[in-house]
Amino acid sequence: MAHHQPEDLFSVNARGLKPSAIEAIHKLLEQPGMRSLAGAWPDPLVFQTDEIAAIIAELLDKQGDQALQYGSTRGQPVLRQALADMASTQLGFECSPQQILVTSGSAQGLDLACRLFIDPGDVVLVGLPSYFGATATIASHGGINVGIPLDEQGIRTDLMAEKILTLQKEGKRLKAAYVIPNFQNPSGVTMSARRRTELIDLAERFQFMIFEDDPYGELRFEGGHLAPLATLDTSGRVIHFHSTSKTFSPGMRVAWVAAQAPVIDRMERLKQASDISTNSLSQLVLLELIRSGRLQGGIERNRAHYRGKRDLMLGLMDQHFPKEVHWTRPSGGFFTFVTLPQDMNSDDLLIDALEQSIAYVSGPSFFVDGSGQNSFRLSFSQASVEDIEAAIPCLAGLIKKRL
C-alpha cells in the first residue's frame, strides 16, 4: 500500500481550489505607504461606531442571555420579521419572515445556494466581468462559470439564449445565473429595468435559478430605485442576497437571503450543517438599528459620503486621464471600471503603479474567460480623499507614458 500524505486524501473539489484574489489584494493593502484603489472594504469613517456601542451596552445589560446564546438557525424571529417588513416597504417585494434566512455575510448566502443547486459540472452564467469572490465560491462546488458580456445596461441578456442553446447541445446542465444588478462589482454598471425583465423571462423559459446579489443597492447616489429581480419573479426562481456589510458593518457578519419557503427551508438545513447559527449579538444590533431608524440614517450619510468620493475620483479622471482611456460612471456603489487601449496590458501597468505605491485590481481577476487584460477596477470606497487626489493624476501619468 502506497504511503499517502493528508494532501492525497483531498476531495476532488478541494484539489481544484485556486488561491484567492482577495487574499492577494489584502497583502498589497498591508504594505506601508500604499495608496490603494484596490480595496473594496467600506470606509470606517462612516461606521456608526458610537451608536453601535450604545446599542450593545444596552443589549448586554437587558438581553445579555439572548445576545450571547445560540439562536435558531434561520435567524432571530423578530429580526426576520423586521427584514421582511423592510423588503416590502423599501425594496418593494413582499415576503414573509418564513422566506428569510439570516446568514453570516451574504457570501454565506451564495455559498449555501451553491450547495443547494450546484453539482460538479453544472453551469452558472456570470457577467464578464464579475466579482471574483462569487465565481470562486461557485467553482469551489465544482460549478462551471460561463461568462456573458456586460455593457452599460448590465449583463447582455440578448446574448444569453444562444449561449444557453449551445450549452444544452454540449450536454451541460445550466443551474443559475449570478448577477449583481446594482452598481456591479467590478464594473459599477446597473442593470436596466428591461434587462431585468428579460433575465426573468430567460430563467423561466430555460428553467434556471437567478442568484441576485445586492450588496450595494442602498448606496444609490442619484436616479430612481429599480425593482429588484426578486420583485419581478413570479415562479420562485430568484434568490435575493442582501448584505449589511456596506451599510452597517462587515466585521459583524450579518446578512439575509430572501427566497421561496421551500428553498429557504433547505438552505436553513445546509446552514445548520455549516455553522449552526449567525452571531446573535450582531443580529440584535441590526434589529435595533432598523427599529430605531438609525440604519436608514446611516445609509443616507453613507450615500453622501461615497457620492463625494465618486465625484472626486471621476472628476480627477476626467481632468487627467487621456482620451484613449474609457471608464464607467456609476450612480452608486464603490467602483468604476477602466478600459485601456486594446494593446495596453493592465498587469504591466500595475507593475509601474506599484512602484509608485499605487494599487488597483487588474482586469483578468474578474473575467472567467481569462480576458480583460486591458482593464482594471478602481474603488473609491476605502481610499482616503488624499490617496485618491494623489493616485489618480499619477496613474494618469503612467498611462500616458505607455501610450
Segment 209 to 228, residues that bind a second copy, using CB under 8 A: 209
Answer for which of 165, 276, 385, 403 binds a second copy (CB under 8 A) is: 276
Pairing of strands 209-213, 238-243: parallel
Nearer to a second copy (CB atom), residue 121 or residue 322: 121
Binding status of residue 350 toward a second copy by CB under 8 A = no
Gyration radius of the chain over CA positions: 21
270 binds a second copy, rule: CB under 8 A: yes
Which residue in 24, 31, 44, 158 binds a second copy (CB under 8 A)?
44
Supply the minimum distance, in Å, between the C-beta of residue 247 and a second copy.
Answer: 12
With binding defined as CB under 8 A, does residue 359 bind a second copy? no
| Set of cell numbers at residue 200 | 426573468
Separation CA 372–CA 366 (nearest Å):
8
- Amino acid of residue 218: E
- Least distance between a second copy and beta carbon 342 (Å): 33
Choosing from 32, 33, 70, 355, the residue that interacts with a second copy (CB under 8 A) is 70
CB of 267 to a second copy, least distance (A): 9
Question: Is residue 24 part of the contact set for a second copy (CB under 8 A)?
Answer: no
The piece of 116-124, 158-166, 189-197, 350-358 that touches a second copy (CB under 8 A) is 116-124
Q: Which three cell numbers stand for residue 320?
A: 487627467
Is there binding between residue 170 and a second copy (CB under 8 A)? Answer: no
ω before 129 within 30° of 0 (cis)?
A: yes
Taking CA 148 as the corner, what is the angle to CA 145 and CA 149, rounded to the nearest 5 degrees?
135
Q: Please tell me whether residue 247 binds a second copy under the rule CB under 8 A.
A: no
Supply φ then ψ for residue 226, to 5 degrees. Answer: -100, 140
Rule CB under 8 A: say whether 145 interacts with a second copy.
Answer: no
Concatenated DSSP letters for 81-121? HHHHHHIIIII-----GGGEEEESSHHHHHHHHHHHHPPTT
36, 108, 184, 185: which one contacts a second copy (CB under 8 A)? 108
Given 36, 99, 130, 277, the residue binding a second copy (CB under 8 A):
277
32 binds a second copy (CB under 8 A): no
Q: Round to whole Å and give the CA distance between 269 and 289.
A: 28
C-beta of 183: minimal distance to a second copy in Å? 19
The residue range among 98-106, 191-199, 214-222, 390-398 that interacts with a second copy, by the rule CB under 8 A, is 98-106
Residue whose entry in the numeric block shows the C-alpha cell 450588496: 215
DSSP letter at 224 equals P
Angle at 231 between CA 146 and CA 82, to 5 degrees: 115
